Amino acid sequence: MKLAVFDFDSTLMDGETINLLAKAYGSEQQVSEITKEAMAGKLDFYHSLRKRVKTLKGMPLKQVCEVCENLTYNPGAKEIISFLKENGYKVVVFSGGFDEGVSAGQKALGYDIHFSNTLHHKDGLLTGKVGGEMMFSYSKGRMLEKIQVLLGVDSSNTLVVGDGANDLSMFQYAQKKVAFCAKEVLREAANIIIDTKDLSLIKNYL
């Protein structure tokens, strides 16, 4: 058995779920400012996630689901997942985003399982709080290590694909490390760099 792990936002999906939700709810400007703080190193992933989700307080869950049912996926996403599954890979998605988006992505793209965060809600409205399995910058690496133990797969049979600093923690557990249209910090750690927005190009490296 082989293992392929993908990031979701800006890797399989074209864009960031939090930005799309904020745009729909009218908190896009606030989220943009928090993201800038995080990019400048003033906030770590955990704190920036919590601050950004707080701007969605009061958003109807129904509206969240509508946004997530209409996500745009990157070219080649469905194709590469089908190809990997046909060639003996278990395909897993790790997302610092949210279950509603990643669940919709699973229906659309066909990956095997996903791990993400949960937007808390009460009486059909978001509370502005978030929890889950992918809250920290180290979460993806820790989860990948557990899955490798569970499936009996080592790094030589593991492929990881991501675009940002939050994906770095996965790279030490995989022989094939793909930076997809990625930020510089991830490109430096990768051994496969794809700058064309077409995930099917990963086939060339398998």
- Which of the residues are catalytic? 7, 9
CA nearest neighbour of 158 among 59, 79, 75, 92: 92
Residue whose entry in the numeric block shows the structure tokens 């936002």: 9
C-alpha of 86 from chain center: 23
User: Burial, 156: exposed, middle or buried (Cβ in 10 Å; 0-12, 13-18, 19+)?
Assistant: exposed
**CB of 143 within 8 A of CB of 133?**
yes
Which tokens in the block code for residue 138? 């180290």
Contact residues for 107 (Cβ-Cβ < 8 A; gap 6+)? none
CA nearest neighbour of 68 among 60, 79, 76, 77: 60
**CB of 15 within 8 A of CB of 67?**
no
